[in-house]
Structure 1
Amino acid sequence: MTLNNKVIWITGASSGIGKSLAIELSNYPCQLILSARRKEVLEEVKKQYKHPENVAVLPFDLADYKAMPQIANEAVKCFGVVDMLINNGGISQRSPIIETAIEVDKKLIDIDYLGTVALTKAILPHFVSNQSGCFVVVSSLMGKFSSPLRSAYCAAKHALHGFFDALRLEHHKDNIKVTLICPGFVNTNVARNALTADGSQQIIQDKMTENGLNPDIFVKKMIKAIKKEKFEAYIGKFEAFGVYVQRLSPRLIHWLVLRSKVK
């Protein structure tokens, strides 16, 4: 797959992986639609793009999934077409199950799963009409195996795999591609922004995230996987091997995660 002359829509584009991805894509002759909640931050990202005239800013909140049909229509109007939707927006969690308010579980599902699904369903008819399109979904290694203190996050990411695997099957006939990107630890603000048991932000960085891949390195690997039209790509350091260990022995990955003392 080529990214040249494509219109690529990125959610969660104001920071972290989404921001690095937007800047890296400035090396390609493509047009971007950048989305997140804060318009002013997206405008700053746009200024870092080599050709800002090829960038549109479309702010919205993933939690407001009932608004997605209107948002999708606005996205198409930006450049007349959308060729690829990169579902990158979302939040994480750091709290024990026994202490976590059910409202926190709901918020993770609303944003990380339902928001992404609603946006996907909203742009899907456009892809079907064009008999072409690509969904890229930034899931997580936690969408393949689980880890302590991330129960709602793991649940939402696991759900994304179920949904998008089904979408890939249903719309193979429409030439619609799906690539699920599963990051391990990436050095972004995901841990600082993670929700705790009462719904407040964690604020502090954790060591595993801090020692993770540089987001600029990560997005180069991500783009390579997209171009190869991979069904799934596992991108990280040592932790990426957990996917293969899980396939071999669920009991072994259980033991290894316990020993890793992930926080």
Structure 2
Amino acid sequence: MKDLGAQEAIYVAGDMGKPEDCERTIQTASDKLGGLDYIILNHWGSSHKRGKFPKVWDADPDMDFLADYTNINYLSHVRLASLALPMLKKSQGNITVVTGLLGKVPNPTFTFYTGAKFALDGFFSSLRCEMKPHNVSITLAVLGSVDTEGLRGAIQDLGESAREYFMKTVAQPQDTAKVIIEGATLRKREIYHPSYTRATCILRAIAPSIVEK
């Protein structure tokens, strides 16, 4: 961050699946920064237990995994935002929640992931309505696939031609980060990146049975 021009960068190491670590993170922001203008929620966990590529839920209905996954990928986002709300109401700030295309469009081999992302959309879209009197904006970043090490590892089980085709559709991390920051700064309601994510969501609204096939 300092290489990019920041005067100071502060980090807090913790497990966002643990309430006490969420509380410590927000308390550190209050103590060190004196408040918050923005909070960007973009953490993910537990998914590596599934192996390289997800399978249909019926093949492995692991409820313990689902509970842990939901805690980290949904409840902890709600917890962090709730803890930050007093500061954000004071600053009339912004909450940006990084979700994904599968938080708008169901997919048959990502049931646990899609469930958590749909929950984020429902909660934070409702919270947006509640926060309007306080002028706290909420931005949902609806992302497609982003070229990361985690993604590359997840698609290793696909054939070479399928991997090559898939990688042609992914967004680059630098471009994605820029879009998220711009969207939060402009207090946009939703961000779609890359462009096919918006088109897919529109198609799902018009013809859901086609998309679900």
For the superposition of Structure 1 and Structure 2, which TM-score range results when normalised by the shorter chain?
0.7 to 0.9
- For the residue of structure 1 that corresponds to 2:180, the secondary structure is helix
Alpha-carbon shift at residue 70 of structure 1 (Å): 3.1
- The code of the aligned residue for 1:218 comes to T
- For the residue of structure 2 that corresponds to 1:139, the secondary structure is strand
Alpha-carbon shift at residue 203 of structure 1 (Å): 8.5
CA 1:220–1:131 in structure 2 vs 1: closer, same or farther (change >3 Å)? closer
State whether residues 96 and 149 of structure 1, in contact with CA within 8 Å, keep that contact through their aligned partners in structure 2.
Answer: yes
Alpha-carbon shift at residue 140 of structure 1 (Å): 0.4
Which shows bigger deviation, 134-143 or 96-105? 96-105
Q: State how many pairs are aligned.
A: 200
Alpha-carbon shift at residue 221 of structure 1 (Å): 2.4
- For the residue of structure 2 that corresponds to 1:63, the secondary structure is coil
Aligned partner of 1:189 in structure 2 is 149
Unaligned segments of structure 2, at least 5 residues: none
Alpha-carbon shift at residue 225 of structure 1 (Å): 2.4
Alpha-carbon shift at residue 252 of structure 1 (Å): 1.4
Residue 118, structure 1, aligned to residue 79, structure 2: yes
Q: Distance in 2 between matches of 1:118 and 1:68?
A: 7
- The code of the aligned residue for 1:123 comes to A
Q: Distance in 2 between matches of 1:170 and 1:238?
A: 30
Q: How does 1:198-237 map to 2 (within 5 A)?
A: 204=156, 207=163, 210-211=167-168, 212-237=170-195
Q: Distance in 2 between matches of 1:117 and 1:226?
A: 18
- The code of the aligned residue for 2:194 comes to G
Alpha-carbon shift at residue 192 of structure 1 (Å): 5.6
Q: Distance in 2 between matches of 1:252 and 1:116?
A: 32
Q: How does 1:139-150 map to 2 (within 5 A)?
A: 139-150=99-110
Unaligned segments of structure 1, at least 5 residues: 1-45, 194-201, 256-263
Give a deviation string over 1:146-198, Cα, whole Å, max 9, x none: 112210110000000111111111111111010000101111133367xxxxx
- % same residue: 24
Aligned partner of 1:79 in structure 2 is 33
Q: Distance in 2 between matches of 1:190 and 1:245?
A: 28
Q: How does 1:57-206 map to 2 (within 5 A)?
A: 57-91=11-45, 92=47, 94-100=54-60, 101-128=62-89, 130-191=90-151, 204=156
State whether residues 179 and 231 of structure 1, in contact with CA within 8 Å, keep that contact through their aligned partners in structure 2.
Answer: yes
Give a deviation string over 1:229-258, Cα, whole Å, max 9, x none: 221112125354210101101111112xxx
- For the residue of structure 1 that corresponds to 2:71, the secondary structure is helix
State whether residues 187 and 209 of structure 1, in contact with CA within 8 Å, keep that contact through their aligned partners in structure 2.
Answer: no
Q: Distance in 1 between matches of 2:94 and 2:26?
A: 15
- Return the TM-score normalized by structure 2: 0.84
Q: Distance in 2 between matches of 1:149 and 1:239?
A: 18
Aligned partner of 1:6 in structure 2 is none
Which shows bigger deviation, 97-106 or 107-116? 97-106
State whether residues 143 and 197 of structure 2, in contact with CA within 8 Å, keep that contact through their aligned partners in structure 1.
Answer: no
State whether residues 94 and 187 of structure 2, in contact with CA within 8 Å, keep that contact through their aligned partners in structure 1.
Answer: no
State whether residues 192 and 205 of structure 1, in contact with CA within 8 Å, keep that contact through their aligned partners in structure 2.
Answer: no
State whether residues 39 and 96 of structure 2, in contact with CA within 8 Å, keep that contact through their aligned partners in structure 1.
Answer: yes
State whether residues 140 and 183 of structure 1, in contact with CA within 8 Å, keep that contact through their aligned partners in structure 2.
Answer: yes
RMSD: 2.3
Larger helix proportion of the pair: 2
Alpha-carbon shift at residue 50 of structure 1 (Å): 2.8
